[in-house]
Amino acid sequence: MPDVDFFWDPVCPWAWITSRWVREVQDQKALDVDWRFISLRLVNEEKGYAEDVRERYEKTHGLGLRLLTIASAVRERHGREALGELYTRFGGRIHVERDAPSLREDEGVAEILRELGLDTSLTSAALDPQRVEEVRADTELALARAGRELGTPVLTFAPPDGPSFFGPVINRIPRGSEAVELWECTERIARFPGFAELKRSARGTPQTS
Closest C-alpha among 89, 86, 92, 87 to residue 152: 87
What's the domain range around 31? 4-190
Number of domains in the chain: 1
Q: What is the pLDDT of residues 173-193, one digit of tens each?
A: 999 999 999 999 999 999 998
Stretch 158-173: mean pLDDT: 95
Is residue 205 helix, strand or coil? coil
Question: Tell me, what CATH number does 80's domain have?
Answer: 3.40.30.10
Q: What's the average model confidence in pLDDT over 87-116?
A: 98
Q: What is the pLDDT of residue 51?
A: 75
Please report which confidence band the pLDDT of residue 27 belongs to, taking 50, 70 and 90 as the band edges.
very high
Is the pLDDT assigned to residue 48 strictly greater than 70?
no
- 98 domain-assigned: yes
Whether residue 170 is contained in a domain is answered as yes
Predicted TM-score (pTM) of this structure? 0.94
The answer as to whether 127 is a domain residue is: yes
Identity of the residue numbered 131: R
Coarse DSSP helix, strand, coil percentages of the chain, rounded to the nearest 5 percent: 55, 10, 35
